[in-house]
Structure formats: structure tokens, C-alpha cells
Amino acid sequence: MPSTLLPLHASVPTQSCAVPVSQLEMTRSPEPDVGHKDEAIKASRQASSAAHIEDYPLGRPRYGALIASHESFQVYRQFSYLRTRLLLDKQDRLAQLEDKLRDIDQNEQHPLFLSSSRLDRNEARKAVLAEIDAALADYDTLIERTARTILPLGAPQERNIGNLRNWIEGNPCLARHYPEYITQTRHHGDLLALCTSPDSAPDLVELWIKDFLKTYLAAPYKACPHSLVQCWLPKKMCSSISSDAHILIYHGRALGQIARTAIALLLLVFLLVPVVICHSFGAGRQTASLVVIVVSTVLFLCMMSWLARAKTVDLAIMGSAYATVLTVFITGTG
């Protein structure tokens, strides 16, 4: 399974190392080798990817470099109010043209003109139809563009907005109005994210692992690089595209492997712990074993609905399969 880019999360400073408050972290998958034969192109790509955010001038260039450095920073306004206003105005314009065409048809003095477009000699009707054609094309274009590009995109995670806000507050190099879509909470309901939110079990577990690294390991590692924390946070798992010690990057491949291992261990616990408990009851304790099966199945379904975000039908199938397997194991051991 390929590594997954994880959203960003604001780091918490440690008192011992005096880390500033506006701390930022991010997780990034290593760029795959696309197999270019042209060494000049590869060298250019490597130089571009190795550039630090601080190499760009202060202001919009550096902020743009930050946004382009990771998918989770791709947060923008969708301007839903403006789009709605435009759609309503275009809709009203079409309604006016519709009424105008109806009046022309009702007041037509030559019924023969209404029998065929070839025989129609009413220039006013032709002009209105041409206006309707242009207005409909404009209306359809806006609807199609909105439905195709805006509606499929979801809202950004609060942690992504918080990371951008932390960077903006820690780097006051922008005019106050420029990042208002991030700093002003009134715009947060109008934001969209170009990257999809994590919706699978490995993705969510990776987020938890990253939160753990951020809380207990990442901040001490970046603030005190020569401390004992290096024993717990290898350099191959934590790198940076920024010379700022408050911007962290985790490699998604290592986190993905740890997440899948944690999920496997969790499933193993759900399968073996009920069997061990029922086996400790001994023979003739069917009621206690039944209670263990019911409780284990309920906990398993709660975990799957929360972790895997499965549908109702999928939960029913997984619950039935889990209860069946558990019953077979307990019956066999009993």
C-alpha cells in the first residue's frame, strides 16, 4: 500500500528546550523516482525539492512556497456566496427572457411564423432566442463548473487550518487582509481542501502515531537535536524542507508500516483475548462465554465503525463474521 500524506498538526513546545509557541509539523511521502533518463531534469527536480521555504523572499513568495510544499496546505475559499449570487442573477435573467419570448409568441400577428422556424420572419423573436442561447450557455457553464470542481471537494480539517494560522502568526510578513481566509473564523465555513481527508483505518492510525511523535518526541528532537530523543526518533523518520526548527516532516512510508502493524495487533487482540477469557472459565460456563462473545462483538463493531467508517451493511457483515469466528474458536477450545 503506498504511503499516505497526512494532514498537518501544530506542535506543542517543551519548556526544557524553550521552543516557541507557533510550532508546525507536517508529514510528507518521499517523492518517487519517475525514471527520467535526462540527468539534467533529475538534477533540476532534486534541486527544486531540496529548496527551503526560507530561500524565498518574505511575503507572498514565501507563503506560496509553504502552500506548495504539501498537499494539506492546499486550502482555499470556495466563495459559495458569490457563486450563489451569480447563479441567481443568471437564473433571473433567463426567467426574464422566458417571459419576453412568451409575450412575443402570444402577440404574434402571423400564425404561420409559429409553425416552423424556417418560416419565422419575426426578428424580435430571433433576437430573444439568441439571447436565451447565450444566457443558457453561460448559466450551464457556471453550474457545470461548480458541480464538477467545487461540490466534490470537502472541507479542510481543523488541524490544517490551525497549522497555517500558526505559521502566519509566527511569520508576520503578509498584509493583514491577505490571509484573512485563514485567520478569520468567519471564513472557515467557506473553505475547501484540494486533498482528501483520511478515511481509512491506516490513515487514521497514522494520524494518531503522528500526534504521539509530535507530543513526546518531535518537539524535543527539533529543539534539542543532540539530546537522547534521537534514540527514539530516527533521522530517517523526521526530515524538513525548511530550515525553521518548527516545521517537521514525517515520512509516510515508515508511519504506514507502523500503522498496519498496530492494526494487525489490535485485530489479534480482539480475536484471542475473548478466547482466552472464555477458556479460563472452564467447562459448563456457557452463559459467561455468551456474555463475552456479545461484549466482544459490540466492541468490535464500535471499533470498526469508528476506525474504518464502514457502512451499515458492511458493519452487519463484519459483525456476523466476527461473532461466527469467535463462537467457533470458543466452542473448539471449550
Q: Are 275 and 333 in contact (CB under 8 A)?
A: yes
Lowest-confidence pick of 92-96, 121-125, 185-189 = 121-125
Same domain, 143 and 287: no
Where does 107-122 have alpha helices with state H?
Answer: 112-115
276 pLDDT higher than 80: yes
Same domain, 250 and 264: no
Same domain, 291 and 233: no
SS3 261: helix
Q: 192 — phi, psi (to 5°)?
A: -135, 155
In a domain, 185, yes or no: yes
For residue 297, what are the contacts with CB-CB under 8 A and spacing of at least 6? Answer: 319, 322, 323, 326
Same domain, 141 and 213: no
pLDDT score for 228 = 45
The rounded distance, in Å, linking the Cα atoms of 203 and 5 is 9
Its pTM surpasses 0.75: no
The domain containing residue 206 runs over which residues? 9-77+155-254
Lowest-confidence pick of 23-32, 74-83, 154-163 = 23-32
Same domain, 161 and 250: yes
pLDDT score for 281 = 76
How many structural domains comprise the chain? 3
Please state the rounded mean pLDDT for residues 168-197.
Answer: 89
Q: How far is CA 250 from CA 15, 27, 34, 127, 241, in A?
A: 23, 4, 21, 62, 11
100 pLDDT higher than 70: yes
Mean pLDDT of the chain: 75
Give 250's pLDDT tier (boundaries 50, 70, 90): low
pLDDT score for 18 = 38
321 pLDDT higher than 60: yes
**CA 20 to the chain's CA centroid:** 27
In a domain, 2, yes or no: no
